[in-house]
Structure 1
Amino acid sequence: MIKRFKKLIGRYKNLEQIYITPYRSYGTYSHLYVKGRVLDNEPLKIVKDQSLYRTLKNTWKQFDSFEIPDVEVELRIPEQLQLRAKTNAEGYFLFDKNIEENLAKDTDEEGWVPYEIYYRSPVEKGTNLLANPFRGEFLIPEVEAEFGVISDIDDTILQTGVTSFLKWRLLKNSLMTNAYKRIPLKDAPDLYQKLHKGKSGKNKNPMFYLSNSPWNLYEYLKLFLDYNKFPKGPILLRDFRTPFDGTLKPEKPHKQKEITNILKTYPDLNFILIGDSGEHDASIYTEIAAQYSDRIKAIYLRSVKHRRQMKRVRSLIDNFDTVPVLLANDSNEAEQHARENGFIQ
């Protein structure tokens, strides 16, 4: 709070610490797409047995971020690649670039490439650079992949309560519940592991996770996915827009933009789309499927307990025969459909 007050009155001059969060992302052997953020914040520390006070304090810290604009960072893949970029007004940096080198030669057995991010702007005396380099990784899907999976997070694998009255359950779950105590929807991790293995059982099918949550919740959601043993995959969130944000609003919804970008990045890979019937997944997914009818193998939508939303979704999918659409009550129904259609063993 003291730092926030000093910033408001113009007395906050020097950085206290520099922390870089590289986000899990994706690429190809010749294209790099890596995003991250540079902040004057301490790393978020979430522990299993933390108190409600500590949970609320962590929530506050996630949104009380102190971005560091207009500083230079360097991405390095040792003995292969060095690139530089500057952060924008919100502290974000982006490497979206075609590369001559073969990036795939440094992948692990599931296609992940480790990289290093260095802070390259001057560091003033008294400022604590928490690490240099900071470490991240991006995914290059295996050529043996049978298909990819693009999945929503909110109310698809993580119960949020986004359709609750006045969204009170959403606020309680997101702001007052420890990430270790968030319970995934029943059997969802098992379904996703089977889709990741596919028919071959080789753990080659790439998984992409989407959410309309802001990047402030990245560490929280990453911990939830890892702790509950979902297959590792790029996590794609959105910028947090305030009422005072003067930048142009994106023409397309966040999820539609990200899905389109993934499809264009991997033109030879087909996909399964997974979402829920609570908000706009049905309309976004069917629009994508209509545009890329030869690329979408199936759409799975988890049913939510909301009569008006379910009525709207059924009106969208009842006459949609471009690709198979399953409105599933649970993960077992989706698993059965995937097995019957030869997606999994």
Structure 2
Amino acid sequence: MSTAEHPTSTGTGSDSVAVDPIPTSRIGTALFHLGRARRDVVAAVLERRGWSYAVLPYPGYGVDGRARVLARVVLAAPGREPSSVRGVAAWRRLVTLQRSRVDIEVAVPGSGAGAGTVHRVRSGPGGLVDVTLPCTVEPGTHAVTFRVGERPPVQAPVHVADPHARRGIVCDIDDTALVTGLRRPLSAAWRTLTRAFAQRAPVEGMADLLTAVHEEHGGDDGPVVYLSTGPWNFNEPLTRFLRRNGFPAGPLLQTDWGPSSEGFFRDGRAHKRRSLQRLRADFPEVRWLLVGDDGENDPAIYEEFAREHPQHVLAIALRQVGADVGPDTTGGATRTEIRGGTVPVVRGTDGHVLLQRLRTATGATG
């Protein structure tokens, strides 16, 4: 049995004294620690009333004998399984009590002598479990089982890629797979927080784009990863949204909202950069199609990654969002200069247009 530990000026006149403002990062750090202390107090009260630890399991991925296992530990009422909640407004999913430093058991699939090995791991900051464990199984989708305390076990899929796969897909969520409207922040926030994900709409043609490319790249054995700056609390309903709307199966890598131990706001751009670097390390032989939109930071992040690691990028596909999309004089395709060559960059208003232009730019047919 193995254990993995997881570590988060004033006044006027000539006699006035200039006072340096408190850095925003220090305010954010203070709020983070204050919020954690408040949660600890509330958790202590609820535990005395019979609440106990529960696991929210998230899909993970694997390759070459190892799997990245993802979950979150929260406090839940007796007889209530947080992972079974359905059809509620998104804001209600943000009201959780995450618990760090909680030991849970994780049973990963395997073959031979290591079959069914149970690992004891500990939740990290924010209750997150993010560990890499041995996983000796054939490519495909397998179940990882989580258990904590006297709660019934819960499961999540781990998508194991073929170690010989050479192409994969990374896809953004907001305004790429899911209509969000981030160019109108207030409307986007209202839509995100007040509607259940079952009421949300997919972006036209994006499921067809990803499915076609995935099949052309080797089907079920190639990695597909969804990348979002949304909170982990939305992972389960977003995963069901993707499945319900015909997107290829794959893990959804997310972050958290609000203050952190390092500042007032969590940096969504840094999260995406770190995630791309992690995928590059976990799949060193894979070249990625990077799918996003031009409404946020995807173009800069993807092109930066392509310049730094040209051997890991097949192409970039960007959905054009907003009413200010002007006439296209490029045929929807350009190229980003990288060391030793270029990477195709295609743009289009929906997945159908992107697929056609991607095939033209990369010389693929289908």
1:267 to 258, 280, 284: 284
Encode CA deviations 1:222-248: one digit per residue, 9 max, x unaligned: 121111111110110013332xx3247
Tell me the distance in 2 between the aligned counterparts of 1:93 and 1:6.
19
What stretches of structure 2 of length at least 5 have no aligned partner?
A: 1-37, 110-114
**Residues 8/199 of structure 1: CA separation in 2 closer, same or farther (3 Å cut):** closer
Tell me the distance in 1 between the aligned counterparts of 2:132 and 2:60.
11
User: Aligned to 2:306, what secondary structure does the other structure show?
Assistant: helix
Higher-Rg member (1/2): 2
Structure 1, 295-304 or 16-25: larger mean CA deviation = 16-25
Shift of 1:9: 10
1:168 counterpart = 2:186 = yes
Contact kept? 1:113, 1:137, Cα under 8 Å: yes
1:177 to 181, 195, 206: 195
1:280 counterpart = 2:297 = yes
1:190 to 197, 208, 212: 208
Contact kept? 2:317, 2:358, Cα under 8 Å: no
Calculate percent identity across the aligned residue pairs. Answer: 25
One-letter amino acid of the counterpart of residue 255, structure 2: R
1:45 counterpart = 2:85 = yes
Structure 1, 317-326 or 151-160: larger mean CA deviation = 317-326
User: Aligned to 1:240, what secondary structure does the other structure show?
Assistant: coil
1:320 counterpart = 2:336 = yes
Tell me the distance in 2 between the aligned counterparts of 1:46 and 1:82.
29
User: Aligned to 2:292, what secondary structure does the other structure show?
Assistant: strand
Residue equivalent to 2:174: 154
Shift of 1:118: 1.9
Encode CA deviations 1:89-137: one digit per residue, 9 max, x unaligned: 422222225x4xx6234x4xxx222221121xxx5xxxxx441x22122
Contact kept? 1:211, 1:237, Cα under 8 Å: yes
Tell me the distance in 1 between the aligned counterparts of 2:97 and 2:335.
49
Shift of 1:344: 5.6
Shift of 1:146: 4.9
**Residues 203/339 of structure 1: CA separation in 2 closer, same or farther (3 Å cut):** farther
Residue equivalent to 2:119: 83
User: Aligned to 1:66, what secondary structure does the other structure show?
Assistant: coil
Residue equivalent to 2:353: 333
User: Aligned to 2:130, what secondary structure does the other structure show?
Assistant: strand
Encode CA deviations 1:142-191: one digit per residue, 9 max, x unaligned: 24535100010001111111111xx1221222112221121101111111
Tell me the distance in 2 between the aligned counterparts of 1:338 and 1:330.
12
Tell me the distance in 2 between the aligned counterparts of 1:90 and 1:60.
18
Tell me the distance in 2 between the aligned counterparts of 1:158 and 1:257.
22
User: Aligned to 1:222, what secondary structure does the other structure show?
Assistant: helix
1:92 counterpart = 2:128 = yes
Matches within 5 A, 1:7-18: 7-8=41-42, 11-14=45-48, 15-18=50-53
Structure 1, 276-285 or 326-335: larger mean CA deviation = 326-335
Residue equivalent to 2:136: 103
2:97 to 56, 66, 71: 66
User: Aligned to 1:324, what secondary structure does the other structure show?
Assistant: strand
One-letter amino acid of the counterpart of residue 225, structure 1: L
**Residues 344/232 of structure 1: CA separation in 2 closer, same or farther (3 Å cut):** farther
**Residues 264/343 of structure 1: CA separation in 2 closer, same or farther (3 Å cut):** farther
Shift of 1:33: 1.4
One-letter amino acid of the counterpart of residue 104, structure 1: V
Q: State the superposition RMSD in angstroms.
A: 2.9
**Residues 185/336 of structure 1: CA separation in 2 closer, same or farther (3 Å cut):** same
Contact kept? 2:210, 2:247, Cα under 8 Å: yes
Query: Aligned pair count?
Result: 307
User: Aligned to 1:157, what secondary structure does the other structure show?
Assistant: coil
Tell me the distance in 2 between the aligned counterparts of 1:30 and 1:204.
14
Contact kept? 1:198, 1:344, Cα under 8 Å: no
Contact kept? 1:199, 1:343, Cα under 8 Å: no
One-letter amino acid of the counterpart of residue 147, structure 1: R
TM-score, normalised relative to structure 1: 0.79
Residue equivalent to 1:114: 143
TM-score, normalised relative to structure 2: 0.75
1:25 counterpart = 2:60 = yes
Tell me the distance in 2 between the aligned counterparts of 1:9 and 1:235.
28
Shift of 1:13: 3.7
Contact kept? 2:208, 2:352, Cα under 8 Å: no
Residue equivalent to 2:246: 229
Matches within 5 A, 1:238-257: 238-242=255-259, 245-247=260-262, 253-257=270-274
**Residues 301/93 of structure 1: CA separation in 2 closer, same or farther (3 Å cut):** same
Tell me the distance in 2 between the aligned counterparts of 1:272 and 1:89.
31
One-letter amino acid of the counterpart of residue 141, structure 2: W
Encode CA deviations 1:272-300: one digit per residue, 9 max, x unaligned: 00000011100100000001112211101
